[in-house]
A and B are shown apart, each in its own frame.
Chain A
């Protein structure tokens, strides 16, 4: 087994499949259940088009994914430092890059589990409407990309700061910066400045792409090439920052 796979396996065993990890998935499922029950119980929401409901649920899933990336990513190096287990990791044969890549891989496993958990909810909400399969495909792409971006950036912060609290605070600020403009709604983002801010924010790019696919049915091949390329650019930058940060990890 390669060093990266060994680190990823250790992370999954300690976090993803542990009681702590299960608690996170239970919370995520409760959030999705609450939204589903709101859709059924609220007369205004129950009038929503299926595609609109799927889009809203996809937004919640992406926000949960980004939040998981922030929580797990903050714990990546800073949590090990707090628990005084980082030294043991650093004297292992795995290099800093191996450790970072292994931890990022474990984050991807977390995303995969969250996605599998979300599929029945999306089916329940959107199976009577249009674009459900496209929604599932693009949600998987968008979630994988966002998890990589947020995970890599917060892991690199975690490698640099001294405590889990500091890494978590910085990660949450990053998350708020990314999520806040999206909460403003599309009408306020129609201006030139709003559009520029949207392109600068990977979360907004992902949400706009899902909007185009799920609601506007722009599912044809190549229709979402531009947002995907922009998101790929953000992935490259985030992974590069993580690589730089993990080259020299200090206790």
Chain B
């Protein structure tokens, strides 16, 4: 429930921050919503280090051709107590694509690869910006969990990181003593 509320809050924020003047908002409110967007999260289980594909779908339900649409991916951490937007650059994701034109009734499928570098609960959403409208469209939040994976094992690194310099220092000392 808390995750859903955070997701809703995220979507609201995305909408509010699409800076529009009151006149434009009024004009946009009169326009029918003619684009639908949907994002599908990859099938679980997902683990840190995986490189899954998120599938997006954009459909033009209107009667006119839509031109120069920009579709971009947003990611938010929904981990209780750590809710925050995530910088996608760290996740090596392709962030935005441009759709030159979308004919009436046409659906475009697009894939986003993401390297999962952190465990926890996350939500991803697609936002479409149509230059002809001041009302961006946002997909429902695709929720997914990433299982932790032991990447760097302290139990392996510490003995090597401490042992080898000590071994070399001992050898160093022995050589130095034998040459005196």
Docked complex Cα distance between A34 and B165 (Å): 11
> Which chain B residue lies CB-closest to A130?
B49
Instruction: Check if A47 sits within 8 Å of B118, measured CB to CB.
Output: yes
Instruction: Check if B161 sits within 8 Å of A33, measured CB to CB.
Output: yes
Q: How large is the interface on A (under 10, 10 to 19, 20 to 34, 35 or more residues)?
A: 20 to 34
Tell me, yes or no, whether A137 is within 8 Å of chain B by CB: no
Instruction: Check if A46 sits within 8 Å of B152, measured CB to CB.
Output: yes
Contact (A29, B152) CB under 8 Å given A22-B171, A40-B157: no
Instruction: Check if B172 sits within 8 Å of A22, measured CB to CB.
Output: yes
Tell me, yes or no, whether A194 is within 8 Å of chain B by CB: no
Instruction: Check if A48 sits within 8 Å of B172, measured CB to CB.
Output: no
Docked complex Cα distance between A123 and B157 (Å): 9
Query: How close is A247's CB to chain B, nearest CB, in angstroms?
Result: 36
Query: How close is A61's CB to chain B, nearest CB, in angstroms?
Result: 13
Which among A19, A33, A36 is the interface contact of B172 at CB below 8 angstroms?
A19
> Which chain B residue lies CB-closest to A37?
B161
Interface contacts (Cβ under 8 Å), in number, total 89
Instruction: Check if A22 sits within 8 Å of B175, measured CB to CB.
Output: yes
Tell me, yes or no, whether A97 is within 8 Å of chain B by CB: no
Instruction: Check if A26 sits within 8 Å of B165, measured CB to CB.
Output: yes
Q: Interface centre among A46, A49, A53, by most B CB within 10 Å? A: A49
Contact (A124, B156) CB under 8 Å given A53-B151, A129-B151: yes
Tell me, yes or no, whether A25 is within 8 Å of chain B by CB: yes
Q: How large is the interface on B (under 10, 10 to 19, 20 to 34, 35 or more residues)?
A: 20 to 34
Q: 1/0 per position for A44-66, CB-CB distance to B under 8 A?
A: 01111110010000000000000
Docked complex Cα distance between A48 and B90 (Å): 10
Contacts of A117 in B (CB 8 A): 164, 168
Instruction: Check if A30 sits within 8 Å of B160, measured CB to CB.
Output: no
Query: How close is B95's CB to chain A, nearest CB, in angstroms?
Result: 13
> Which chain B residue lies CB-closest to A41?
B154
Instruction: Check if B171 sits within 8 Å of A125, measured CB to CB.
Output: no
> Which chain A residue lies CB-closest to B154?
A40
Contacts of A29 in B (CB 8 A): 164-165, 168
> Which chain B residue lies CB-closest to A51?
B49
Query: How close is B94's CB to chain A, nearest CB, in angstroms?
Result: 13
Docked complex Cα distance between A173 and B91 (Å): 35
Instruction: Check if B160 sits within 8 Å of A128, measured CB to CB.
Output: no
A-B contact pairs, 11 of them (CB 8 A): A29-B164, A32-B161, A33-B161, A40-B154, A40-B158, A49-B115, A50-B152, A120-B160, A123-B160, A124-B160, A128-B153
Q: Which B residues form the contact surface with A (CB < 8 A)?
A: 48-49, 115, 117-118, 150-154, 156-162, 164-165, 168-169, 171-172, 175-176, 179
